[in-house]
Amino acid sequence: MRIYCITQAAYHVRMNTSTVTAPVRHVPPLLMLMTLAIGFVMAMIDVTAVNTALSDISVSLSVPLTGLVWVVDGYTLTFAALLMAGGALADRLGPKAVYQGGLSVFILGSILCAVAPSGHALIAARLLQGAGAALFMPSSLSLLTHAYEDQATRARMLGTWSAIVGCSSAAGPLVGGLLVHEFGWRSVFWVNVPIGLLGIVLTQVLAPATSRHERDLSMWSHALGVAALAALSFVLIEGPALGWTSVAVLGAAVVALLAAVLLVRRERSGAHPLLPKALFETPAFAAANGVGFLINFAVFGQLFLLSLFIQQGGADALQTGIKLIPMMAAFAVGNLTSGRITSRVGTRPPMMYGLMAGLAMAVLMLVGLRPDTPYWLLVMAAVVMNVAIGIAIPGMTATVMLVAGKEHANSAAAALNANRQIGALVGVAMMGTVMHVAPSWATRLPMAFTLIAAAYAGALCLVYRYVKPALPRGV
C-alpha cells in the first residue's frame, strides 16, 4: 500500500483524536516563511561568520587552537545533543512558545558571547547559543507544518525555507568578514540581538496558535541521549589530538557505548519513549532519517575537505570563503528547484534522481580530482553535485514531516535534525582522519570521495527500498 494512503489515514485519525488547532489566520506565505526562518538563518550566519572571526578572537582573548575548535564546535555539540529535548518540549508546551523561548536563549547567549572576557566564557556562551538553537529549530519546522494546510504549498515552502537557509550559510563568511573588518569580532554576536528580537515579535503577531500534546518528557532518556552524543562528540573531536588509544578518548567511547545501549533498552521497554512509536510504523521515517545522516556526512565532510584543499593552493581564509560561495550557493539553487518538483510529482523522485546525480558526480570527482586540478573544473563539478543534493534535501524533509503529521511534527523535526547534526560531526571527523592517515593530497582526495560516494550510495539505497510515492500529482 502506498505510504500516502497510510499517512493520510493516520493523519485523519490523529486530527479526530487530538486537540483541535486554532484556525490559521490569512498571512502571506512568504511573510510567514520569513518569520519562521529567522531563527535558523540567524544561527547559520552566526556559525559561518564565527569562522572568519577566529583569528581576532585568538589574539583578543589569548585563545589557543584547541580553544578555537571548541568555540566553533561547542555550538554544534549542544545543538545536536539537545534537539530531541527541544522537540519534546515543543510537544508539551506548544511549538510557538518554545520557538520564542529558543530565540530568547539564543539572544542571551549572543550577548554573553559579545561581552565574553575570556576564552572559557566565550565557549560557555557558545554552548548556550547551541541550546537555544536546539529549542527553536524543531519548533520552526513544526510551525511551518501548521501554517500551510495545503500539502503542495507546504512542499514549496519547505523548499524555499531550505533555500533561505542555504543562502544564509553561503553569505555567512562574507557577512562575518565585513563585520569583523569594520566593527571587530564582537559585532558578529551583537548583530544577533536585533534580528532575534524581530523574530520573537513577528512570531507573536503572525504565527498560528497550536495544540499541545501532553507527552511525558522522559528525562532519563534525554539524559542518556545527551550523554551518548556528548561522549561521542568528545571522541570524534579529541581523538586525533589526544590519540585514539588515550585513556580519555577510550573512556569517552565506553561512556558513549553504555549510554547508547541503555537508551535503546529504555526506548524499547519504556512507556514514554523519546520518539512516539507510531513514527516507526512507517519505514519511510527511519529511512529518511538515515538519508539525512548520510547527506550531512557527505556534505559537511566535503566542505571541510575542499576548504583545506583550496587553502593548500595558497588562498587565505577570505579568499577560500569567496571560492566556496558558488559551491554553497548551489544547495540553495537545488532547494528552490526541489520545491516546485516535489509539489508536482511527490517527494520520492527528487530524492532518487538528486542522489543519483550526486553519486555520479562524487564518483567522477573520485576518479578525476587531482592536486593540480584547476579551480574552475573543481567548482563546476562541486556545483553540479551540490545542486543535485540540494534537490534531494527538501524531499527528505517533506517525507519526514508528511509521515509524522501534525501530531508528531515536533518530535519528527527534532529527530531529523539531530541525525543530520550527528552526520555532520561524523563526516568532518572522518575527513580529519583521512587527512591524518593519508600523507598527500594525491591519496587524500580519492579516499575522501570514496567515503562521500559511499554515503550517497547508501542514501540512494534507503530511498529506493523504503520511500514510496508520498504526494500524488495534483495534490
- List, as one string, the DSSP characters of 301-353: HHHHHHHHHHHTTT--HHHHHHHHHHHHHHHHHHHHHHHHHHHHH-SHHHHHH
Kindly state the greatest CA–CA separation across the chain. Answer: 62
pLDDT digits (tens, 9 = 90+) for 88-145: 787 778 788 888 899 999 999 999 999 999 988 998 999 999 899 888 877 777 777 7
**What is residue 475's predicted lDDT score, i.e. its pLDDT?**
37
The CATH-assigned architecture of domain 276-469 is Up-down Bundle (1.20)
- Output the pLDDT for position 163: 66
Q: Summarize pLDDT for 292-346 with one digit per residue, the tens.
A: 999 999 988 887 778 778 767 676 656 766 777 788 788 878 877 887 777 777 7
28-207 and 276-469 share one fold: yes
DSSP result, 69-96: HHHHHHHHHHHHHHHHHHHHHHHHH-HH
Is there a contact between 40 and 162 (Cβ–Cβ < 8 Å)?
A: no
pLDDT of residue 33: 76
- Domain segments of the chain: what residues? 28-207, 219-273, 276-469
Q: Are 176 and 335 in contact (CB under 8 A)?
A: no
Q: Which CATH number fits domain 28-207: 3.40.50.150, 1.20.1250.20, 3.90.1150.10, 3.40.50.300?
A: 1.20.1250.20
* Cβ pair 253, 365 in contact under 8 A: no
Whole-number Cα distances in Å, 57 to 63, 115, 116, 185, 398: 7, 12, 10, 7, 39
Q: Give the separation between CA 124 and CA 381, rounded to whole angstroms.
A: 39
CA distances from 104 to 45, 97, 205, 413 (A): 17, 11, 16, 20
For residue 317, the model assigns a pLDDT of 58
Cα separation of 169 and 180, whole Å? Answer: 17
* Degrees, nearest 5: CA angle 152-157-163: 135
Give 356-372 pLDDT, tens digit per residue: 999 999 998 888 788 87
Burial class (CB in 10 A: 0-12, 13-18, 19+), 376: exposed
pLDDT in the model for residue 22: 42
User: Nine-digit cell at 465?
Assistant: 527500498
Nearest Cα to Cα of residue 212 among 407, 373, 62, 370: 407
Q: Which residues does the chain have with pLDDT short of 50?
A: 1-24, 470-475
Q: Which residues contact 197 (CB under 8 A, 6 or more apart)?
A: 107
Dist CA 417 CA 397 (whole Å): 9
Query: Quick check: helix, strand or coil at residue 123?
Result: helix
| pLDDT (0 to 100) of residue 143 | 77
DSSP H or E stretch at residue 27: none
User: Vertex 469, ends 466 and 474: CA angle to 5°?
Assistant: 165
The model's pTM is 0.72
The whole-number pLDDT of residue 148 equals 67
Place of cell 555532520: 424
pLDDT reported for residue 17: 35
What angle in degrees, to the nearest 10, is found between the helix axes of 409-437 and 119-147? Answer: 140
pLDDT at 211: 64
